[in-house]
Amino acid sequence: MTEHEDGDAPADLRLTSAEWSMWQAFRNGSTCELHVGDPARDDPHGQHLWGPERRVRARVVALLLLESPHAQPGRVAALKLTGAYITDTLDLAGGTIKPFVELRDCRFEAELVLPESRFTTLRLVNCAIPRVEAARLHTEGDLHLPRCVVQSGVRLTDAQIGTDLLLNQIVVHKDRQGRSIMADGMTVAQDLQAEMIESYGELSLRGATVGVTLSLRGSRLSNPFGRRALNAPQLTVERTLYLTPAGLANSPFSSGVTPPYGIAHTPSRGTRMQRFECEGGMRLDDGRFGDAIDLEDARFVMESDQELSLRRIQTPELRFLGERPQRGRVVLSGARVVTLVDRSASWPGLGGLWMAGFAYETLVPHGRFPLTVRLRWVAAATPEYAPEPYEMLAAALRRSGEDADAREVLLAKQRRRRETLPLAGKAWGFLQDWTVAYGYRPGRAAVWMAILWAIGAAYFAGSPPPPLKPEEAPVWNPYLYALDLLLPVVDLNQGTAWKPAGGAQWVAAVLILAGWVLATTVAAGASRLLRRQ
């Protein structure tokens, strides 16, 4: 089928009036308007049937885009179609489409087939589409699908988007594999905006790359059919991943995108501002995020076997400020974060948090987050004793200049470790804790030393022991004698010059043993301090 030299359609096409209008508008670069003027009847997602006056055949649309008749002199050809019902399957697989394409308020009778096709810019705004099949799609400019309703999934596997991918307020239902949007390996050169979307199935972004920002502000991801609502391991976002509230274009939570491609009307949940919600598990394992992951006011509804999995992620900042999950687990094992911004009410309780190997440098709590609550946070993440979470918290507090709190954390670590020891180890641990708090409170040693010295001096002042060698004995001094017994290693030439017997022998033994216990505990605490430094 070939076009006429003057740009008119081939006669054998037998264009309808709607198709003829579309053909002429294409050559002029103008918009072909097929609305009837009634908002209810013009709604592509409504129940009203659209008659033949609005129908255009998919083969005619494909001919315009692939063969591209000559534009009118002084005009740039472009397909701008509004309010059309596109019959049959629009199949552009493998094609190169040079004209600008924008379809608004259109209905598609069958799926849109775009695998391995190349566009400059493709915009589908507020359209009703059974399915979008666009694996390995390539665009030099934007790909827009705002406010579209797709009944059987969108496939963008290995697609390459030259600038922005805009999906704001799209509603996508699952395909036969249970996936709503399948975009594994996709590359977006600039922003991926998917704000206030509704996804019913698994949104898959495995190995995808976003050149600037990925925004899921105000979106609702729901997958009652499988384990995860968002499956995005090895995702790379050069700037920030937003899982935060969103609102209309004039609200405080707006991303700044203007209609018709931004958020233009009150969303289906009926509020001008709504938060991000995920009903099902979320997997961001091994992701790389150049600026931050922002979970402010996010809500996660999970079953007991589902996870918010952030294993081995790397990001300068994690803002964990969402609502506390009631079920499921939050997993941060192996994650690397520079700054952790959090609040106590956001973390799950005992058994709901795993963070073995989780590394962070700075803590920035929002609201009141006392040390006792922070210690419960660590305990909730370690059903079995592990030293790393305590040491990581102590190091972060020390970097913030809170040395006293850091010592309290390390003391809590020793007490937690004591629970795993056999009976003898527990007894020794209780003794160290009671006397000098495992060396983290060395002032206690001085107090105990002074008390024992006073008791010993008072006892020996009233019951002096006989000299071992009377001709060589020094002048009797009960204070120096008691001190010599208490201080291990140090020799004041008193302890070996006298021979206690009876009760005095037992008092001397107690002083010697107490001195060694205190000295050993203080030395152990000092060695731990030196190792940390």
Range with the poorest average pLDDT among 14-23, 81-90, 219-228, 487-496: 487-496
Phi, psi values for residue 191, rounded to 5°: -90, 145
pLDDT score of 424 more than 50: yes
Residue carrying the six token digits 């007490």: 415
pLDDT score of 434 more than 50: yes
Whether 459 contacts 507, CB under 8 Å: yes
Phi, psi values for residue 316, rounded to 5°: -65, -30
Q: Distance of CA 13 to CAs 190, 216, 403, 503, Å? A: 41, 44, 83, 120
- Residues written for the chain: 533
Which pLDDT does position 255 carry in this prediction? 55
Which pLDDT does position 489 carry in this prediction? 66
Question: pLDDT band for position 263 (50/70/90)?
Answer: low
Amino acid (one-letter) located at 383: P
Which pLDDT does position 1 carry in this prediction? 41
Average pLDDT of span 311-331? 96
Beta partners for 128?
Answer: 107, 149
Which pLDDT does position 167 carry in this prediction? 97
Range with the poorest average pLDDT among 202-211, 291-300, 410-419: 410-419
Looking at every residue in the chain, the average pLDDT score rounds to 87
Give the largest CA-CA distance in the chain.
137
Residue 40's CB is within 10 A of a number of other CB atoms, namely 9
Indicate whether this model's pTM tops 0.85: no
Which pLDDT does position 345 carry in this prediction? 93
Average pLDDT of span 393-398? 89
Question: pLDDT band for position 2 (50/70/90)?
Answer: very low
Phi, psi values for residue 20, rounded to 5°: -65, -40
Question: pLDDT band for position 451 (50/70/90)?
Answer: confident
Question: pLDDT band for position 249 (50/70/90)?
Answer: low
Q: Which SS3 state, helix, strand or coil, does residue 192 take?
A: strand
Which pLDDT does position 258 carry in this prediction? 47
Question: pLDDT band for position 104 (50/70/90)?
Answer: very high
Residue (of 291, 292, 358, 350) closest to 331 by Cα position: 358
Range with the poorest average pLDDT among 108-112, 224-228, 497-501: 497-501
Which pLDDT does position 423 carry in this prediction? 86
Q: Using H for helix, E for strand and C for coil, what is the string for 467-482?
A: ECCCCCCCCCCHHHHH
Which pLDDT does position 533 carry in this prediction? 47
pLDDT score of 5 more than 60: no
